[in-house]
Amino acid sequence: MNQETPTTNLPTCYVINMTKDKDRRDIMTQRLEAAGVPYEFFEAVNGYKLDPDNMDFYDRKRRCRYFGRDLLPGELGCLLSHYNVFKKMDEENIEHAVILEDDVIFENDFPQVLQALLNTAVKWDVIRFLGSKKIYKRGCRKIAPLVDRYQLARLPTAPGGAHGYLMTLKAARVMVAHMQKNWLPIDTLQGRTWETGLETLVVHPAPLYPDAEAGSTIGDARFDKTVRLEGIEKKLFPLYRAWFKISETMGKKYIYWSAWWRDTRRNS
């Protein structure tokens, strides 16, 4: 253990898992115990038991307008599961929490990274643990050292992936308020920081990453981009989609470059 960052009073890791997925729970229990971090399992929402036609939580029209298809049942369940953790943090005044899905693998020094994040002078609201090396090929701005090989960094992109992240109570409350009507998967929403206003950073390299062998409970249908609209909605879709892509690009660039001055000052 790194003596400069003793791992005391670490935040609880809330692991989103359905009780029926016992094998995944057992594997995660072994990994969490080996990592030496406090944890609780949090019951996931089964999206296949939801009725999208009768959900105030879901903005189907907006979703189809910009994507040409509905959110999948698994995506809706995932969205609600993360939202419920945010509500728990809000209602119980939990200052910091790690939210995990039940398919992650930890580096041995994950506790030290958590402690370093709590100790850093850099202000943040959400720290995303994005394990894919492809994400960093587009570059990242290193902001401050954490411990050993790890650094706080800012990405110029808004990648998907909600398998693991650390957040503050402030961030949880912002997300609860922001998620009253939803049309995006949780990982896409997390990346849209120009909308949430949350200071969202990453740790490079990531101290945890998704288990490629576990497979997603959402399923491969999430990769199907088929437009499922008809009539005038189908004709207008290319215009709405183009606007979505343009606004997203502008948002990402705004967040990345508007933070340039304060990020580079930290390194000077």
CATH code, 229: 3.90.550
Q: Please give the Cα distance from 242 to 174 (Å, whole number).
A: 28
Element (H, E) at 95: none
Average pLDDT over residues 25-36: 97
User: Closest Cα to residue 244, out of 132, 161, 125, 158?
Assistant: 158
Residue 1 pLDDT more than 80? no
Residue 126 lies in a domain: yes
Residue 3 lies in a domain: no
Q: Please give the Cα distance from 194 to 52 (Å, whole number).
A: 27
Residue 4 lies in a domain: no
- Residue appearing with tokens 């922001």: 178
Residue 214 has a pLDDT of 75
Residue 158 has a pLDDT of 87
Output the DSSP codes for 172-241.
HHHHHHHTTSB-S-HHHHHH-HHHH---EEEEES-SEEE-TTT--SS-GGGG-------HHHHHHHHHHH
Confidence of residue 135 (pLDDT cuts 50, 70, 90): confident
Residue 6 lies in a domain: no
Residue 23 lies in a domain: yes
Residue 245 pLDDT more than 90? yes
Residues 6+ apart with CB under 8 A from 187: 159, 160, 161, 162
Q: Please give the Cα distance from 106 to 28 (Å, whole number).
A: 10
Average pLDDT over residues 207-228: 79
Residue 150 pLDDT more than 60? yes
Confidence of residue 218 (pLDDT cuts 50, 70, 90): low
Please give the share of the chain, as a percent, with pLDDT higher than 90.
Answer: 81
Residue 68 has a pLDDT of 97
CB 101 within 8 A of CB 162: yes
Tokens representing residue 55 in the block: 């959900």
Residue 7 lies in a domain: no
Residue 2 lies in a domain: no
Residue 112 pLDDT more than 60? yes
3-state secondary structure of 160: coil
User: Closest Cα to residue 102, out of 53, 32, 51?
Assistant: 32
Confidence of residue 254 (pLDDT cuts 50, 70, 90): very high
Residue 163 lies in a domain: yes
CB 153 within 8 A of CB 143: yes
CB 14 within 8 A of CB 85: yes
Please give the share of the chain, as a percent, with pLDDT higher than 70.
Answer: 91
CA-based R_g, the chain, Å? 19
Number of domains in the chain: 1
Confidence of residue 131 (pLDDT cuts 50, 70, 90): confident
Average pLDDT over residues 239-258: 96
Mean residue pLDDT across the chain: 92
Residue 267 has a pLDDT of 56
Estimate to the nearest angstrom the gap between the alpha carbon of 117 and the chain centroid. 17
Confidence of residue 159 (pLDDT cuts 50, 70, 90): confident
Residue 2 pLDDT more than 90? no
- Find the domain containing 159 and state its range: 12-267
Residue 134 has a pLDDT of 72
Average pLDDT over residues 221-230: 83
25-34, 127-136, 181-190: least confident range: 127-136
The structure's pTM equals 0.92
